[in-house]
Amino acid sequence: MADLSTDCAGIKSPNPFWLASAPPANSGEQVMRAFEYGWGGAVWKTLGQDPAVINTTSRYGAVDIGGMKMAGFNNIELITDRPLEDNLKEIYEVKKRFPKHAVVASLMVPCERKAWHDIVKRCLDTGCDGFELNFGCPHGMSERGMGAAVGQVPEYIKMVTEYVKEKSTIPVLVKLTPNITDVRYAARAAKQGGADGVSLINTINSIMGVDLETMKPKFAVGGKISHGGYCGPAVKPIALNMVSQIATDPETRGLPISGIGGISTWADAVEFMLLGSSSVQLCTAVMHYGFRIVEELNAGLEDWMERQGFEKLEDFIGKTAPSVVDWKTLNLHQKTVASIDHATCIGCDLCFVACNDTAHQCITIEKKNGNRKPIVIEEDCVGCNLCSLVCPVDGCITMAEIKTGHKPLSWEDYTKNGFAGYKEVYKRMHG
Amino acid sequence: MDSATKKIFRENFAEINPALRPEEAVVEANRCLYCYDAPCIKACPTHIDIPRFIKQIASNNLVGSAKTILEANALGHSCARACPVEVLCEGSCVYHDWQEKPISIASLQRRATDHANATGLRPFKPAPDNGHRVAVIGGGPAGLSCASYLRRLGYAVVLFEKHKKVPGGLNTFGIAEYKMDQKVSLDEIKRLFQLGIDVKMGVEVGRDIAPERLLKDFEAVFIGIGLGETHSLGIPGEGLRGVWDALSFIRFVKDRDLGPIGKSDCTVVIGAGNTSIDAVTQSKRTGAKRVVMAYRRSEAEMGAYGFEYALAKSDGAEFLWHASPVRILGKGRVEGIEFARTKAVGGKLKVTGSTFKVACDRVIKAIGQTKHFALAKAFDLKLASDGRISVEPETLRASHPRVFAGGDAINGGKEVVNAAADGKRAAWAIHRALQPGVPAPAGNDYWISTIDGRKVAPIMPKLPSERTKAHG
């Protein structure tokens, strides 16, 4: 049986699935229930200074895409609105009852050394397994100089991380905001400040829409809205990119990562792990379906590992990261062309119109006797994938590799000698 | 209506395809693939842009969706219920090739037009009067469709309907009640009449007004008179009480007036077309204990659609094949019917010597309708050998240069949607005939583009650049 236990920056848990710091991890009762269902860890809803914040009503919003509910989700909820002492007591109780599960205290206080020292010291008494510094929350708290306001300034990230490391005896994760030009700078700053790892992504600045009848923002508070944090399935590719950037950056390579962003299934989680995450955090999917989804997260991961012959998570964590490279090193001589299986083609002709109107005009239909089956003009096909992406039938359009006989050629190699042989290369590539 | 009748209609005439809930409609709409040059559009005689109206439902634009439908098909609200979609749009859906359930196009169409109807949408306006006058004979689907498009083009239209009070023809009186109740047809007509059609109810052309008069008073005439009475069986006993023609029988059901129909222990329906099925199912549903459908040919040769036959079976009807009626028995009223057994000999149907009787108290004839020869002759129109009015397929112009025709009168008896398509085609042809070279007034281009189905990708001129394809 595969071993699902993980060690992310020194924080150990029986499996890599943690509740993200969010409403599902708002109280001891919830976290304990989640652990009973099988969650490996929980990052507590962010703790802050008393008096606790006051939240608005109407806090969450969603976009439904093509009938899929909550394909994207957002919130303007702030950090915990419960008194610090209540949370600390509950963390202590949870840890006592679930000593092997990971309980991580998420923290957010003003950028003052004393404030951070105080909260770290108080939290250490709870027996929690690690800290996550919330430098990511993009709404509300950022207006008060916290959350994303810190995460957007690498110098602040480093400074505050240092404050925490001065007092902490347990691992420290820095949670990063995606609302930044290049996340590698933030990750480097965290590392320089002594962080044991990073967690990402936090939510993305977002407005969920406008009601076309009232012409007020959707999910408004008394007719007005403030930008919220966007998450859910729609953000996963953005998160995967940022995770892979940190996993492959020479300065941060090897820094433990807790992956977050649109994870709904075990397969999503595996993708984050293959790109370098040693634990993953979920929120939107839990808020959609409840804690029980962890049963399939664990079972699906285990089945996949057995199928692949992996015994433990380290066998594959980061395995795919080296395949994420700069564009300039990609092989320009790689050639694939679309291949349409007429036996399964249903004649919707979406591939035809997509290619003809919007891509490279390489699909034709011989419209005789009501024939609707599209044909790829192989010599013109540039292998862009679009037809295979729009095709509703699984496996009907595949991209077949064509052996060209040409040696691999990257843009980097090609331009080294000042575009030598431009015409020949261009002709070879574009026919 | 007495409480027993109410109960019958409540319990046995519930809509066979109930409305989709709004959420259901969006889920179903999102299943549509938005096929390019979609087969469903081609399969629809009125060429409604089905993927477009479905995507409008998916994006919560119900008004836009209803407009897309009603532009191409003036009777789109009725057709959402009356159309045999299994053999038209839904039958052509590419999901069939996937061995999956096709998109529920009819239900989605209904979702849009029900909304339009409930909100009193009046999607189109007549163009300013152009001074030309057209007469439309018949207030059934073909005439209604033609009249409404003519109004949109700016023609003054006078519509002559022989029924004293209720227009709509077979759309109002001929669609099985569990598919569509009369209100749907009447609502549709109300919306069309709002375009400013001058309706003369209770006027039968040829009886109350002479065809020559119409040709004198109007520049063009559209004939949408449908078919005549149900064919006679030509056997003894047809005059007995309890012998019905299917259309009259169905009309009483549509009026929810069961008194004249009376009760029945056993009803025999003669014929095996779609109207026969309507007579069978509605006999059964109005309380006939036993219903037998009799056809002189085999099951395989039956004219009714497969799904209609299945419905009759599920309603508990019995079937007699190779049974040709010889005489209806009874004194004063029907007591039974005698059949001769038939068999096919060398592709021809022969009556055998063997006969048998079926005891019954009601016989419904559903063996097709006659043609209105008299009116066609009065206009001196050329007829096809079977009595249909001959027309040019492109324009639906009859042998008289100012007379056009459509619907059952030219096709011998098809669907509401065929009649609606004919009315649309004829309206545009009448415009071109009366005002050659004059473009249609603003607001008409879209429906005109649907007459022959919308064009697919426009062909663009070749540009001089050596490389026109965006391969870079």
Along the 431 residues of chain A, how does pLDDT read in single tens digits?
899 999 999 999 999 999 999 999 999 999 999 999 999 999 999 999 999 999 999 999 999 988 789 999 999 999 999 999 999 999 999 999 999 999 999 999 999 999 999 999 999 999 999 999 999 999 999 999 999 999 999 999 999 999 999 999 999 999 999 999 999 999 999 999 999 999 999 999 999 999 999 999 999 999 999 999 999 999 999 999 999 999 999 999 999 999 999 999 999 999 999 999 999 999 999 999 999 999 999 999 999 999 999 999 999 999 999 999 999 999 988 999 999 999 999 999 999 999 999 998 999 998 888 889 999 999 899 999 999 999 999 999 999 999 988 889 999 988 887 887 777 777 777 65
Q: Do B133-228+370-449 and B243-365 agree at the fold level?
A: yes
Strand partners, B112: none
| Residues whose CB is less than 8 angstroms from the CB of residue A360 and which lie 6 or more positions away in sequence, other chains included | A380, A381, A382, A384, B469, B470, B471
pTM of the model: 0.90
The pLDDT value recorded for residue B117 is 97
The answer to whether residue B307 neighbours chain A at the CB level (below 8 Å) is: no
* Both structure tokens of A410: 């990257």
Nearest to B470 among A350, A360, A372 (CB): A360
Using CA coordinates, name the residue in chain A closest to B33: A348
Consecutive H or E run containing B278? helix B274-285
In 3D space, the residue among A194, A178, B113, B377 whose CA is nearest the CA of residue A186 turns out to be A178
Average of per-residue pLDDT across B359-365:
97
**pLDDT higher than 70, residue B314:** yes
The pLDDT value recorded for residue A428 is 74
State whether A132 and A47 are in the same domain: yes
A352–B34: do the CB atoms touch at under 8 Å? no
Directed axis angle between helix B62-72 and helix B50-58, to 10°?
Answer: 170
Single-letter code of the amino acid located at B169: G
The pLDDT value recorded for residue A176 is 98
Q: How far is CA A295 from the centre of its chain?
A: 21
State whether A258 and A342 are in the same domain: no
The pLDDT value recorded for residue A174 is 98
* Residue pair B318/B293 in contact by the 8 Å Cβ criterion: yes
CATH topology of domain B15-118: Fumarate Reductase Iron-sulfur Protein; Chain B, domain 2 (1.10.1060)
| Residues whose CB is less than 8 angstroms from the CB of residue A154 and which lie 6 or more positions away in sequence, other chains included | A185, A186, A188, A189
Dump the DSSP string for A177-229.
Answer: PS-SS-HHHHHHHHHHTT-SEEEE---EEE---B-TTT-SBTT-BTTB---EE
Cβ-count burial B263-287 (b if 16+ within 10 Å, e if not): ebebbbbbbbbbbbbbbbbbbbbbb
Dump the DSSP string for B11-29.
Answer: HH-S-SSPPPPHHHHHHHH
Q: For residues B34 and B52, what is the distance between their CA atoms, to the nearest angstrom?
A: 7
Task: Determine the 3-state secondary structure of A151 from DSSP.
Answer: helix
Strand partners, A12: A7
CB contacts, 8 Å: B103 with chain A: none
Is the torsion defined by CA of A72, A78, A82, A84 positive or negative? positive
Show which of A300, A323, A346 is a domain's final residue: A323
- CATH assignment of B243-365, among 3.50.50.60, 3.30.499.10, 3.40.50.10470, 3.40.50.150: 3.50.50.60
State whether A375 and A250 are in the same domain: no
A380–B469: do the CB atoms touch at under 8 Å? yes
In 3D space, the residue among A239, A218, A264 whose CA is nearest the CA of residue A74 turns out to be A218
Show which of A323, A338, A355 is a domain's final residue: A323
The answer to whether residue B469 neighbours chain A at the CB level (below 8 Å) is: yes
State whether A113 and A225 are in the same domain: yes
- Does residue A1 lie in a domain region? no
Q: How far is CA A298 from the centre of its chain?
A: 19
Which percentage of chain B shows pLDDT scores above 90? 92
B35–A66: do the CB atoms touch at under 8 Å? no
Show which of A301, A323, A345 is a domain's final residue: A323
The pLDDT value recorded for residue A208 is 97
State whether A175 and A318 are in the same domain: yes
Single-letter code of the amino acid located at A42: A
CB contacts, 8 Å: A210 with chain B: none
CATH topology of domain B133-228+370-449: FAD/NAD(P)-binding domain (3.50.50)
State whether A148 and A205 are in the same domain: yes
* Residue pair B107/B28 in contact by the 8 Å Cβ criterion: yes
**pLDDT higher than 80, residue B162:** yes
Strand partners, B158: B135, B198
Alpha-carbon gap: B110 to the closest alpha carbon of chain A (Å): 20
Single-letter code of the amino acid located at B103: I
List pLDDT tens digits, range A250-290. 999 999 999 999 999 999 999 999 999 999 999 999 999 99
* Residue pair A60/A77 in contact by the 8 Å Cβ criterion: yes
Alpha-carbon gap: A213 to the closest alpha carbon of chain B (Å): 12
State whether A310 and A357 are in the same domain: no
Residue A177 CA: distances (Å) to CA of A74, A133, A138, B147? 15, 11, 8, 64
Indicate which CATH number applies to the domain containing A359: 3.30.70.20
Q: Where are the domains of chain B?
A: 15-118, 133-228+370-449, 243-365
Total CB pairs under 8 A between chain A and B: 48
B30–A357: do the CB atoms touch at under 8 Å? no
* Both structure tokens of B348: 């021809």
Q: For residues B413 and B388, what is the distance between their CA atoms, to the nearest angstrom?
A: 10
In 3D space, the residue among A90, A87, A127 whose CA is nearest the CA of residue A107 turns out to be A87
* Both structure tokens of B427: 């309206």
How many domains does the structure of chain A reveal? 2
Q: Decide if A351 is catalytic.
A: no
CB contacts, 8 Å: B95 with chain A: 346
In 3D space, the residue among A238, A353, A300 whose CA is nearest the CA of residue A4 turns out to be A300
The one-character DSSP state at A390 is H
Interface of B with A in 79-108 (CB under 8 A): 94-95, 97-98
In 3D space, the residue among B435, B439, B438, B434 whose CA is nearest the CA of residue B401 turns out to be B434
Nearest to B33 among A345, A350, A372 (CB): A350
State whether A304 and A335 are in the same domain: no
B471–A430: do the CB atoms touch at under 8 Å? yes
Q: For residues A164 and A141, what is the distance between their CA atoms, to the nearest angstrom?
A: 19
Directed axis angle between helix A154-167 and helix A113-124, to 10°?
Answer: 40
- Mutation for B interface: A218, A342, A346, A423, most B CBs within 10 A: A346
State whether A84 and A20 are in the same domain: yes
Residue B325 CA: distances (Å) to CA of A245, B281, B329, B366? 85, 21, 11, 12
Nearest to A348 among B26, B94, B457 (CB): B94
The pLDDT value recorded for residue B472 is 44
Using CA coordinates, name the residue in chain B closest to A391: B33
State whether A275 and A369 are in the same domain: no
| Residue B462 pLDDT level (bands cut at 50, 70, 90) | confident
B98–A393: do the CB atoms touch at under 8 Å? yes
Dump the DSSP string for B77-95.
Answer: HHHHHHS-GGGSHHHH-GG
Nearest to B36 among A353, A359, A360 (CB): A353
Residue B352 CA: distances (Å) to CA of B276, B321, B340, B341, B345? 24, 13, 7, 6, 11
Nearest to B35 among A349, A359, A360 (CB): A349
A361–B97: do the CB atoms touch at under 8 Å? no
Consecutive H or E run containing B337? strand B333-345
Using CA coordinates, name the residue in chain B closest to A358: B470
**pLDDT higher than 60, residue B471:** no
Alpha-carbon gap: A69 to the closest alpha carbon of chain B (Å): 11
The answer to whether residue B210 neighbours chain A at the CB level (below 8 Å) is: no
Give backbone dihedrals phi and psi of B103, rounded to 5 degrees, phi first. Answer: -65, 140
Domain housing A402: 327-430
The one-character DSSP state at A49 is P
Q: For residues A102 and A14, what is the distance between their CA atoms, to the nearest angstrom?
A: 8
Alpha-carbon gap: B157 to the closest alpha carbon of chain A (Å): 39
Average of per-residue pLDDT across B19-41:
95
The one-character DSSP state at A315 is G
Q: Which of A8, A123, A128, A137 is flagged as catalytic?
A: A137
State whether A312 and A350 are in the same domain: no
* Residue pair A210/A217 in contact by the 8 Å Cβ criterion: yes
Nearest to A360 among B27, B39, B469 (CB): B469
The answer to whether residue B34 neighbours chain A at the CB level (below 8 Å) is: yes
Alpha-carbon gap: B461 to the closest alpha carbon of chain A (Å): 15
Specify the length of chain A in residues: 431
The pLDDT value recorded for residue B347 is 83
* Residue pair B212/B156 in contact by the 8 Å Cβ criterion: no
* Residue pair B424/B74 in contact by the 8 Å Cβ criterion: yes
Using CA coordinates, name the residue in chain A closest to B96: A346
Single-letter code of the amino acid located at B20: L
